[in-house]
């Protein structure tokens, strides 16, 4: 990537902070904005330039990355009064890495195109661990030539073999929905497996060590399993954001007249986690829901 390119980064939370940090570590010039300025403090210390609004970031930069919380946040960041598309420079590239609604990605792409701006929807998977290690999976929708231009920057945030062009605007978000549907069902299996092992009197570390290497091995058991054993429910990915993602997938499934009962069940269990006050814990907090149903302390 041409190091003369000026990079904007909006959203410097659990995921975005690390992702932006990789760009800075590679020598990129970065302008940042976050609703809570203190969360960008570490990046500013590393050389990032603070901006007071998304519009201010757009005035200064050529390529803008965003990763915020909810579709409403995406809409505000791009289309609000102080949004990116109010001041973006023709010829710029905008890249939304939030997990958001496919239809919103298409809408943003159309408005951006009218302003002679290229748009990509590029949601990620891998949680806080993948963000810190630069090993995220990145699934991208939009113009393929634009994808190729941004690919060197994607490679600073994700593994080469986990970065994939999926198709036109919205395709990245649809692919992320496939990802979230799979994780939702898998997390039920993870917590039920560990609860069974606990009740059977097994050493759960030993259980994870062996089944995590066999046919049942998956990212969730190998990464979240050890956290659950340590009663570490800090968020790598918030329960409330996962509920949002599953809601998007269920809405899209309904629109396509597609029945996904497994996803609906997982969604209800995570809604229960929110009802119990655990919305700001990590998705591994599903264990606490199942443990409470079985009168097990967690």
Per-residue pLDDT of the chain (298 residues; tens, 9 = 90+): 445 789 999 999 989 999 999 999 999 999 999 999 999 999 999 999 999 999 999 999 999 999 999 999 999 999 999 999 999 999 999 999 999 999 999 999 999 999 999 999 999 999 889 999 999 999 999 999 999 999 999 999 999 999 999 999 999 999 999 999 999 999 999 999 999 999 999 999 999 999 999 999 999 999 999 999 999 999 989 999 999 999 999 999 999 999 999 999 999 999 999 999 999 999 999 999 999 999 998 7
Do 243 and 162 contact (CB within 8 A), yes or no? no
Spatial neighbors of 215 by CB under 8 A, at least 6 apart, are none
pLDDT recorded at residue 298: 72
Spatial neighbors of 59 by CB under 8 A, at least 6 apart, are 87, 89
pLDDT recorded at residue 147: 98
pLDDT recorded at residue 1: 45
**In the chain, where does DSSP find H-type helix?**
16-25, 41-45, 54-60, 71-79, 102-114, 127-133, 144-157, 171-199, 204-211, 219-229, 239-255, 261-275, 286-293
Is 282 in a helix, a strand, or coil?
A: strand
Give me the residue label for tokens 């198709």. Answer: 167
Query: What are the residue ranges of CATH 3.40.50.720 in the chain?
Result: 6-169
**Catalytic residue numbers?**
176
Residues 43, 79: Cα–Cα separation, whole Å: 25
pLDDT recorded at residue 118: 98
Provide CATH code, domain 175-293.
1.10.1040.10
pLDDT recorded at residue 179: 95
Query: What are the residue ranges of CATH 1.10.1040.10 in the chain?
Result: 175-293
Residues 119, 63: Cα–Cα separation, whole Å: 10
Residues 223, 207: Cα–Cα separation, whole Å: 13
For domain 6-169, which architecture applies? 3-Layer(aba) Sandwich (3.40)
pLDDT recorded at residue 262: 97
- Please tell me the pTM assigned to this model: 0.92
């Amino acid at each position: 990537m041409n190091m003369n390119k000026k990079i904007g980064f909006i959203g410097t939370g659990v995921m975005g902070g690390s992702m932006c940090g990789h760009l800075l570590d590679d020598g990129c010039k970065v302008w940042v904005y976050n609703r809570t300025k203190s969360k960008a403090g570490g990046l500013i210390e590393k050389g990032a330039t603070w901006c007071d609004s998304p519009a201010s970031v757009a005035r200064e930069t050529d390529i803008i990355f965003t990763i915020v919380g909810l579709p409403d946040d995406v809409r505000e960041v791009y289309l609000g009064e102080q949004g990116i598309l109010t001041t973006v420079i023709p010829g710029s590239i905008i890249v939304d890495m939030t997990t958001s609604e496919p239809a919103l990605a298409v809408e943003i792409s159309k408005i951006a195109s009218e302003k002679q701006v290229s748009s990509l929807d590029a949601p990620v998977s891998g949680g806080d661990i993948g963000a810190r290690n630069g090993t995220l999976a990145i699934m991208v929708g939009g113009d393929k030539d634009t994808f190729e231009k941004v690919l060197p920057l994607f490679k600073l945030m994700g593994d080469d073999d986990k970065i994939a062009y999926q198709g036109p605007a919205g395709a990245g978000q649809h692919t992320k929905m496939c990802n979230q549907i799979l994780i939702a069902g898998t997390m039920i299996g993870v917590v039920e497996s560990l609860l069974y092992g606990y009740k059977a009197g097994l050493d759960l570390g030993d259980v994870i060590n062996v089944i995590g290497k066999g046919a049942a091995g998956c990212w969730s058991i190998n990464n979240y399993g050890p956290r659950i054993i340590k009663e570490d429910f800090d968020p790598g990915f918030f329960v409330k954001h996962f509920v949002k993602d599953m809601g998007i997938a269920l809405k899209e499934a309904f629109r396509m007249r597609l029945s996904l009962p497994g996803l609906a069940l997982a969604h209800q269990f995570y809604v229960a986690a929110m009802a119990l006050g655990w919305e700001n814990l990590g998705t591994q907090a599903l264990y606490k829901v199942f443990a409470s149903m079985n009168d097990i302390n967690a």
